[in-house]
A and B are shown apart, each in its own frame.
Chain A
Amino acid sequence: MEALKQEIMTVAKATKLGIDTSNLQYDIPLSTQGVDSIGMFSLVLALQEKFQIEIPDEDFGKLDSLVTIADYVDRRLRTN
């Protein structure tokens, strides 16, 4: 799980989130850190491409922090 968290942080920092990502935090909601809706579009698209998963709209809105995203991706990869 730690390796996956690192991978997700790497993806997030390589994505145009619209904020300075040098101090990006795992457990603080991305919106609180200043990530806007377009940043979330970019991040979720990058995650889909990186992990080869399709993230449906009903799950998209639940992905509010990198911790939540790591848990979600981990679950999806296990069930795929």
Chain B
Amino acid sequence: MIGIQAIATYLPEERINSLSRAETLGVPASQIETRIGFTGLSRAASGEQASHMGLQALKNLLAQTGTTAESIDLLIVVSQTPDQNIPHLSAELHGRMGLREDCSCFDIGLGCSGYVYGLSIAKSYMEANDLEVGVIVTSDPYSKIVDPADKGTALIFGDGAAATLLSRQAVFDIGKFAFGTQGNGAEHLTTRSGRLHMSGRHVFAMAAQKVPPNILESLRKSELTLSDVDLIIAHQGSLAVLQELRDRLNLPEGKVPFFSREYGNTVSSSIPFGLAGIWNQAELKTLVLSGFGLGFSWASTVLNRR
């Protein structure tokens, strides 16, 4: 059975100090500390695009695991901020890494739910086609589309990338998935003239109302309940969103951690960053991953440590 074998991440070195930026935007420091939650935001260097970040994460994964580029059968890239729309970013990474010609490559155009969708697609695609080694790269340099003067978005998003290795030599088995879409919410988190526009009110309401039942549905499909779960790795929308999810699921802070304070909401990479962070904590055996965001789109699944 295909599962998750390893994860590697890449964060650009530069950080925006959110407290300084908040002062410029007239946002109280207390709102950063206790509500939005991100005291720092990682920033891609000038000219550093999704391909550069994704490539670095992929190189880190190969170095970390000893996997060779030649062994990769499948490369999926999840991104909404690729360098360009044509061609697909996975083909660009394929070329730069010198992957095999019979390696299957495609992109998934989803945001913060994209990693969970990617896991479902990769697992089922690999099992259906007898593929042995698959990689999901997530890479979103949102700083390219955020207006630094927009207080609704300028204090939230960080740039980052991750690469996840899937194979039969898995550390985590992947359980059942639950998905959801609310297309009439599309206008509330979108780009206009290349700039990101977000209605915080509607994004908050979507997360509060849709994500808890979606998590419970993924557990139900895997014949589990919340009491079986050691940790929920939820998309890091903001500290306030995480607090709302905890309240609605009646769970303590430690069960639904906010772990991205120093680098921000990295969109499609936020969940793999969380998973990488607890990778070696062997006592955390049953996990839920839950991604949610623009579309609106949301998805959850269960992981079980072997």
Contacts and interface: CB of A to CB of B under 8 A. Distances in A.
A36 B31 contact: yes
A16 B247 contact: yes
B71 interface: no
Interface centre among A16, A18, A41, A42 (most CB of B within 10 A): A41
A16 B244 contact: yes
A4 interface: no
Given A36-B31, A45-B208, A60 B201 contact: yes
Contact of B204 (A18, A42, A60): A42
A38 B205 contact: no
Interface string A44-66: 11001000000001001000000
Interface string B191-223: 000000001110011001100000000000000
A45 B201 CA distance: 8
Contact of A38 (B35, B199, B209, B247): B35
Interface string B16-43: 0000000000001001001110000000
Contacts of A16: 240, 243-244, 247
A12 to B, nearest CB: 15
Interface of A: 16, 18, 36-42, 44-45, 48, 57, 60
A18 B244 contact: no
Is chain B's interface secondary structure helix, strand, loop, or mixed overall? helix
A37 to B, nearest CB: 6
Contacts of A57: 199, 201
Contacts of A48: 205
Contact of A41 (B28, B31, B36, B201): B201
Contact of A45 (B31, B36, B205): B205
Contacts, number: 38
A37 B36 CA distance: 11
18 contacts: A16-B243, A16-B244, A16-B247, A18-B31, A18-B34, A36-B28, A36-B31, A36-B35, A37-B200, A38-B36, A38-B240, A39-B35, A40-B201, A41-B201, A42-B244, A44-B201, A45-B205, A57-B199
B194 to A, nearest CB: 23
A13 to B, nearest CB: 14
Interface in B279-302: none
Nearest to B238: A38
Contacts of B240: 16, 38, 41-42
B28 A38 contact: no
A51 B204 CA distance: 19
Contacts of B208: 45
Contact of B35 (A18, A44, A45, A60): A18
Nearest to B34: A18
A39 B204 CA distance: 11
Contacts of B31: 18, 36, 38
Nearest to A14: B247
7 pairs of A and B residues whose beta carbons are closest in the complex: A41-B204, A38-B240, A41-B201, A38-B35, A45-B205, A36-B31, A18-B35
B205 A41 contact: yes
A39 B175 CA distance: 36
B236 to A, nearest CB: 15
